[in-house]
Chain A
Amino acid sequence: MSSYLTEGPTLRQWLTTTDHKKVAILYAIAITLFFFIGGAAAVIIRLELATPQGDLVPAQTYNELFTAHGVIMVWFFLIPSIPSVLGNFLIPLMIGARDLAFPRLNLASWYIYLIGGVGTLWGMLLGGVDTGWTFYTPFSTMFSNSHVIIVVLSVFFTGFSSILTGLNFIVTIHRLRAPGLTWFKLPLFVWAHYATSIILVLATPVLAMTMVLIVIERLFQVGIFDPALGGDPLLFQHLFWFYSHPAVYIMVLPAMGVVSEIIPTFARRKIFGYRFMAYAIMGIALLGFLVWGHHMFTSGMSMYAGMTFSLLSFFVAVPSAIKVFNWTATLYKGSITFDAPMLYALGFIGLFTIGGLTGLFLAALALDVHLTHTYFVVAHFHYIMVGGAVAAYLGGIHFWWPKVTGRMYPEMWARVAAAMLFFGFNLTFFPQYLLGYEGMPRRYHSYAPEYQLLNVLSSAGASILAIGYLLPLCYLAWSLFYGRHAPSNPWEGRGLEWKTLSPPPVENFSNPVVVHSHVHEVAGEGAA
Chain B
Amino acid sequence: MSDFQLHPVAATAHAAQVDTLFYCMLALTGTVALALAFLITFFSIKYRKGSNARRDHPPTQNRALELSWMAIPLLLFLGVFGWAAWLYAQAYQPAANAMTVFVVAKQWMWKVQHDNGRREINELHVAVGQPVRLMLASEDVIHSFYVPAFRIKQDVIPGRYTSISFNADRAGTYELYCAVYCGTAHATMEGRVIVMPPADYARWLESGDQADGLSSYGQTLYRQYGCSGCHDAGAGNAPALTGLFGQPVQLADGRRVIADEGWLREAILQPHANRVAGYPPNMPAFAGQLQEEELAALIAYLRRK
Contact = CB atoms under 8 A, between A and B. Distances in A.
Interface string B149-180: 10111110111101000000000000101111
Contacts of B183: 63, 130, 139, 143-144
B247 interface: no
A439 B175 contact: yes
Interface residues of A, number: 92
B142 A136 contact: yes
A219 interface: no
B182 interface: yes
Contacts of A228: 158-159, 288
Contacts of A333: 47, 53-59
21 contacts: A63-B183, A130-B183, A273-B61, A303-B88, A321-B69, A322-B66, A325-B69, A331-B40, A333-B55, A333-B58, A336-B43, A353-B36, A354-B33, A363-B81, A365-B84, A365-B88, A369-B18, A437-B7, A439-B149, A444-B186, A448-B175
A310 B175 contact: no
Interface of B: 1-8, 17-18, 21-22, 25, 29, 32-33, 36-37, 39-40, 43-44, 47-50, 53-62, 65-66, 69-70, 73-74, 77-78, 80-81, 83-85, 87-89, 91-92, 107, 140-142, 144, 146, 148-149, 151-155, 157-160, 162, 175, 177-188, 288
B268 to A, nearest CB: 14
B151 A370 contact: yes
A452 B1 contact: yes
B179 A338 contact: no
A135 B69 CA distance: 39
A363 B81 CA distance: 8
B21 A334 contact: no
Contacts of B17: 366
A298 B60 contact: no
A318 B73 contact: yes
Q: Which 7 A-B pairs have the closest CB atoms?
A: A227-B159, A439-B148, A364-B84, A366-B87, A365-B88, A333-B58, A331-B43
B192 to A, nearest CB: 12
A276 B61 contact: yes
Among A226, A325, A456, find the residue whose CB has the most chain B CB atoms closer than 10 A: A325
A314 B5 CA distance: 31
B187 A438 contact: no
Contacts of B140: 138, 143
A364 B80 contact: yes
A370 B184 contact: no
Interface in A432-451: 434, 437-439, 441-450
A452 B4 CA distance: 8
A449 B2 contact: yes
Contacts of B4: 450, 453
A360 B77 contact: yes
Nearest to A449: B2
Contact of A317 (B43, B57, B73, B107): B73
Contact of A227 (B25, B73, B158, B175): B158
A364 B81 contact: yes
A361 B33 CA distance: 14
Q: Is the interface of A mostly helix, strand, loop or mixed?
A: helix
A354 B142 CA distance: 31
A233 B157 contact: yes
A364 B70 contact: no
Nearest to A314: B77
Interface stretch (A80-88, A263-271, A408-416): A263-271
Contacts of B74: 314-315, 318
B73 A274 contact: no
A335 interface: yes
A144 B141 CA distance: 10
A372 interface: yes
Given A59-B185, A63-B186, A439-B8, 6 more contacts: A138-B142, A234-B157, A328-B43, A336-B49, A364-B84, A370-B152
Contacts of B50: 335
A361 B22 contact: yes
Contacts of A269: 58
B158 A438 contact: no
Nearest to B190: A448
Nearest to B82: A311
A367 B18 contact: yes
Contact of B146 (A54, A307, A373): A373
Contacts of A322: 66, 69-70
B40 A328 contact: yes
Contact of B59 (A234, A306, A332): A332
B160 A443 contact: no
Contacts of B25: 360-361, 364, 367
A438 B149 CA distance: 9
Nearest to A270: B60
A317 B186 contact: no
B152 to A, nearest CB: 6
A152 B153 CA distance: 29
A487 interface: no
A486 interface: no
Nearest to A518: B60
Given A317-B73, A353-B33, A446-B188, A303 B177 contact: no
A263 to B, nearest CB: 10
Contact of B88 (A139, A306, A317): A306
B44 A449 contact: no
A300 B43 contact: no
Contact of B84 (A299, A326, A338, A366): A366
A274 B60 CA distance: 8
A32 interface: no
Nearest to A304: B89
Contacts of B22: 361, 367, 437
A335 B21 CA distance: 41
Contacts of A310: 81, 84-85
Interface in A444-472: 444-450, 452-453, 456
A445 B47 contact: no
A365 B87 contact: yes
Contact of B155 (A226, A267, A300): A300
Nearest to B80: A364
A61 to B, nearest CB: 10
Contacts of B158: 138, 226-228, 233
A303 B155 contact: no
A303 B92 contact: yes
A215 to B, nearest CB: 18
Given A276-B61, A369-B91, A314 B148 contact: no
B154 A300 contact: yes
Given A364-B84, A373-B144, A335 B55 contact: yes
B47 A318 contact: no
A510 interface: no
Nearest to A231: B159
Contacts of A54: 187
Nearest to A363: B81
A220 to B, nearest CB: 19
Contacts of B175: 439, 448
Given A332-B47, A369-B153, A373-B153, A441 B66 contact: no
Given A63-B184, A227-B159, A373-B179, A318 B3 contact: no
Contacts of A273: 60-62, 66
Q: Quick one: which of B40, B60, B151, B178 has the most chain A CB within 10 A?
A: B60
Nearest to B73: A321
Most-contacted residue by chain B among A298, A329, A369 (CB, 10 A)? A369
